[in-house]
Amino acid sequence: MSVLVNKNSNIIVQGFTGKEGSFHAEQMIEYGTNVVGGVTPGKGGQEHLGKPVFNSVSEAVQKVQADTSIIFVPPKFAPDAIMEAAEAGISVIICITEGIAVQDMVKVKAYIEDKNVTLIGPNCPGVITPGEAKVGIMPGFVFKQGRIGVVSKSGTLTYEAADQIVKAGLGISTAIGIGGDPIVGTPTKEAVQLLMEDPDTDGIVMIGEIGGNYEALASEYIKSTGNKKPVVGFIAGQTAPAGRTMGHAGAIIGGKDDTAAAKMEIMASCGIHVVNSPADIGKTMAKVLGK
């Protein structure tokens, strides 16, 4: 079992024939991901990378039973692409696009609220269930199959965590890069909950960063479960100057509880095994699992 994506997911690529969409779709197909086609308005009926191209998401749902979409569309058009996928009945939408305006994401969140859809991103690396489906831009070779879930606001640290987990003799069930924008479709708590409820995930790595309250809310949820699965946590931005945006649009310290130190303290108080360096993630998880 996995969460969000697996070998049976019918995946389409929105922005399929563009430069970014083509490059990453090819990587996904080579990995073995079940890409069933793509969407580029005006190019329907063509074939690209050996897969059919459709004019709309609804056409892809009708003709190839698409249920998952990954979006490589410029920021100006990405909100409409998300809403089109949701309207067409896609159940998992993964938006890689960076630079979507906050006010546009507010509208998107409101639009999909009553739809049966899970949005990952925007500004994220995607989701991978090793050996089954790579729906994103992550380097697939880093991820090996196993029973540790990863939730991260940072793409690079997602890969680093996976590498440390593998080096510790463990592997990954599903890794979810939620994105680093102020507004994302699936915040840390909801992503952690998916893995907490997954019977094939034994432990969880939660990677956050300065700014916002995602990690605090997730920590309180983890505590409320009675810490039924061990969670190893790391917060990026420990040396960031106060009030500065560091890397991600969402990583700005707005108050005393937004600092790395405050978040790490909250996490530790909720029973999370907090590490000071990503280099300690794997060995800490192995230790708490008794491996």
Which residues are identified as catalytic?
A: 248
Instruction: Kindly state the DSSP code that residue 258 receives in the 8-state scheme.
Output: G
Tell me which residue of 99, 180, 172, 170 sits closest to 134, measured CA to CA.
Answer: 172
* DSSP result, 88-132: HT-SEEEE------HHHHHHHHHHHTTSS-EEE-SS--EEEETTT
Tell me which residue of 125, 126, 164, 123 sits closest to 143, measured CA to CA.
Answer: 164
Q: How many of the other CB atoms lie within 10 Å of CB of 113?
A: 9
Q: Are 135 and 6 in contact (CB under 8 A)?
A: no
CA gap 94, 110 in Å, rounded = 17
CA gap 251, 210 in Å, rounded = 5
Written as six digits, the tokens of 92 are 């998992």
Instruction: Kindly state the DSSP code that residue 240 receives in the 8-state scheme.
Output: P
Q: Are 41 and 55 in contact (CB under 8 A)?
A: yes
